[in-house]
Structure 1
Amino acid sequence: MSSPKPKTTQTMKPATAAKKLGILLSAAPAEFQEGVVSRSELNALQSTPPPWLADLRRNGPHPKHVVAAKLRVSVSGLIRNGITQPLTTAEIDALKAESPAWLEHERAVQAEVRKEAQRLKER
């Protein structure tokens, strides 16, 4: 009989971990960017974020998908309107306060897309 194999620790690349944490990898500390992240380390970061992670989540810079969610538009809508770089929370708040016409248009488009998706789901 063979003995059971020891469990291997599941690890992921820093880019994958950053995406799961909702942060921009290039804004994370060097030790996070250069290492690998185990599943247990990711769980620990999610449950009790260290100060650097809490600060990144609060102030940014944020990746496109987070910017889009905060503005209630799609990532495509951001790109169509020339926003291709990460934004900070202050920049996002300034856009919300300014409420340009393109933002209102993209929000309306996104609302229609969600409404259609819900309608199809209910069918």
Structure 2
Amino acid sequence: MTSHKTTVQTMKPATAAKKLGVYLEATPAEFQEGVVSRNELNALQTDPPEWLTTLRREGPHPRPVVAAKLGVSIAGLARGGVTDALTTEEIDALKTDSPEWLVRERATQAEVRKEAARIKEKNAERTADSPRDRA
């Protein structure tokens, strides 16, 4: 049986905030208290209002965004004691100060990426060497 999409699909504000890459608690009250339709989400993404542009530029940013801006994992943030949303200014200060935990977590993240690339390359070689491709 096929499911048919309703004409107006909605999502919780938390889901919409996650898709927009913003910290829910920093959004306007009307955003937090309502529901967001797919059409409204698309409109917010294509033509963001001032509050959304400001949030994306200045923060506070949710942990996934903070982690990406710092070049570490979310778990690395937690190990470094960062459990709350940070503003762009706070993120820039961390980059400038470069505390020991941040240096360590960036190195760990670099190793993780390096290992992932190695595995991907190995799998690609294995696929290229498979007998099916020789026929």
Match of 2:10 in 1: 11
The 3-state SS of whatever aligns with 2:81 is coil
- Rounded to whole Å, the distance in 1 between the matches of 2:94 and 2:43 is 33
1:57 and 1:65 mapped to 2: Cα distance? 13
Shift of 1:16: 0.2
Residue 109 of structure 2 corresponds to residue 113 of structure 1: no
Identity of paired residues, percent?
A: 71
Determine which structure has more spread, i.e. the larger CA radius of gyration: 2
1:1-123 paired onto structure 2 within 5 Å: 7-122=6-121, 123=123
Tell me, what secondary structure is at the counterpart of 1:62? coil
RMSD of equivalent CA atoms: 1.4
Flag structure 1 segments of 5+ consecutive residues without an equivalent.
none
Q: Find runs of 4+ consecutive structure 1 residues off by over 6 angstroms.
A: none
Give distance in 1, aligned partners of 2:5 and 2:28.
32
**TM-score, reference length from structure 2:** 0.84
Query: Partners of 1:51 and 1:100 in 2: how far apart?
Result: 33
Q: Check 1:6–1:16 CA distance in 2 against 1; reply closer, same or farther (3 A cut).
A: closer
Number of aligned residue pairs: 119
- Offset of residue 6 of structure 1: 9.1
Equivalent position amino acid for 1:92 in 2:
I
Q: TM-score, normalised by structure 1?
A: 0.92
Structure 2 stretches lacking a partner, 5+ long: 124-135
Question: Relative contact order, CA 8 A, sep 6+: which one is greater?
Answer: 1
What is the alpha-carbon distance in structure 2 between the residues aligned to residue 46 and residue 6 of structure 1?
Answer: 21
